[in-house]
Structure 1
Amino acid sequence: MGTKDVGWDDARWLNPPNTAERVGTALVVSPHAGADFWRQTSYGFTRDTGSALLTELPPNTSVEVTFDGDFDALYDQAGVFVRVDEQTWVKAGVEVTDGALHVGAVVTRGVSDWSIAPVPEWAGRSVTVRVSRTGDALTIRARAEDDPWRTIRLAPLAPDAPTFAGPFCCSPERTDLRVRFTRFVVGPADAGLHENP
Structure 2
Amino acid sequence: MHWHHEPEEWAQHRTTVQMRVPPGTDCWRMTGTNECVNNAPFYFLEVEGDFEVRCKVKANYESPDDQAGVMIREDEENWIKCGIQMVGDIPHMCATVTHDYSDMSLHPLPHLPEYMWVHAKKIGDGLEVYISEDSFDWMQIRQGDITDDAILQIGLYAASPESDDGFEVSFEDFMVKGED
> Shared fold (TM-score greater than 0.5)?
yes
| Structure 2 residue 60 is the aligned partner of structure 1 residue 92 | no
Partner of 1:157: 146
**Structure 1 segments unaligned to the other structure (5+ residues):** 1-10, 190-197
Partner of 2:123: 134
Partner of 1:7: none
| Structure 2 residue 47 is the aligned partner of structure 1 residue 61 | no
Partner of 2:26: 36
| Structure 2 residue 4 is the aligned partner of structure 1 residue 14 | yes
Superposed CA RMSD: 1.7
**Structure 2 segments unaligned to the other structure (5+ residues):** none
- What secondary structure sits across from 1:72 in the alignment? coil
- What secondary structure sits across from 1:178 in the alignment? strand
Q: TM-score, normalised by structure 2?
A: 0.92
C-alpha contact (below 8 Å) 2:117/2:135 kept by paired residues: no
In structure 2, C-alpha distance between the alignment counterparts of 1:85 and 1:176, rounded to whole Å: 25
In structure 2, C-alpha distance between the alignment counterparts of 1:150 and 1:168, rounded to whole Å: 21
AA matched with 1:186: V
Deviation at 1:23, TM superposition (A): 5.5
In structure 2, C-alpha distance between the alignment counterparts of 1:88 and 1:110, rounded to whole Å: 6
Deviation at 1:25, TM superposition (A): 4.7
Deviation readout 1:101-126 (Å, 9 max, x if unpaired): 000111110111110000133x1411
C-alpha contact (below 8 Å) 1:125/1:145 kept by paired residues: no
2:167 to 170, 173, 177: 177
Deviation at 1:147, TM superposition (A): 5.4
In structure 2, C-alpha distance between the alignment counterparts of 1:120 and 1:72, rounded to whole Å: 17
In structure 1, C-alpha distance between the alignment counterparts of 2:154 and 2:30, rounded to whole Å: 22
In structure 2, C-alpha distance between the alignment counterparts of 1:17 and 1:120, rounded to whole Å: 31
Q: TM-score, normalised by structure 1?
A: 0.84
In structure 2, C-alpha distance between the alignment counterparts of 1:55 and 1:16, rounded to whole Å: 14
- Find runs of 4+ consecutive structure 1 residues off by over 4 angstroms: none
C-alpha contact (below 8 Å) 1:38/1:46 kept by paired residues: yes
